[in-house]
Amino acid sequence: MRSFGYRLPKCSARSFHKKGRDQLPSELAETLGPIVETIGLLTEKIKDYDRRIEELTAERYPETRLLRQVSGVGALTALTFVLTLENPQRFVKSRLVGAYLGLVPGTDHSGEQDPQKRISGEGDEMLRRLLVGSAHYILGPFAPDSDLRRHGETIAQRGGKNAKKRAVVAVARKLSVLLHHLWVSAEVYDPLHNARCLGIQGEEVA
């Protein structure tokens, strides 16, 4: 639109088809109008699917509520996590879930994990992408403070090549471990549990 000297108003993706349609310049309305209408139809379909997923998780998979205590984990991510793992008792320790989902560094020729390599990419790709998406939110500007966020920020601040990407993957891996733990333990989630424990230990030492 800039090439025509027009700028559409800022709005969310879900309201674009409404606000954008009314702001189209007359000379472009005929050409772009149908495209905006199609965007509107797709937006409504997505909202309908989101509603159906919400209903499904509430009616058939109430355990997803335990996972959704974590800010950034929505109905789709929680449901995919539950359906992919099927039985949380399959994993003796929660930390094994990260490896199962391929959220660990690849191995070198000796068979040892190499932090410089990309993640192994094993396991369910869709769930891995959803967890990475949640990690992006957790490290983003709108997420509340949490142990997960602080963990990712610490890694990102170390700098180096692809530091931010490594931080996102690290948070996604930690998130997978946390979700499994919440599922098994049914605990109330404390986003700053580790920070509080370290603070208490520091006071005891002092």
**This prediction's pTM:** 0.79
SS3 string, 48-110, reads HHHHHHHHHHHHHCCCHHHHCCCCCCCHHHHHHHHHHHCCHHHCCCCCHHHHHCCCCECECCC
pLDDT digits (tens, 9 = 90+) for 127-164: 999 999 999 999 999 999 999 999 999 999 988 778 99
What is the C-alpha to C-alpha distance for residues 156 and 166, in angstroms, rounded to an integer? 7
Structure tokens at 178: 């946390």
Q: Say what the pLDDT of residue 108 is.
A: 46
Q: In DSSP terms, which residues pair with 119 in a beta bridge?
A: 105
Q: 47: burial class by Cβ within 10 Å (0-12, 13-18, 19+)? A: exposed
Question: In order along the chain (206 residues), what is the average pLDDT of each group of 10 residues?
Answer: 57 62 66 77 90 95 97 97 96 94 68 53 88 97 96 91 91 97 97 85 51
Residue 113: what pLDDT? 46
Angstrom distance (rounded) from CA 163 to CA 52? 38
Domains of the chain, residue spans: 2-50, 62-200
pLDDT of residue 196: 87
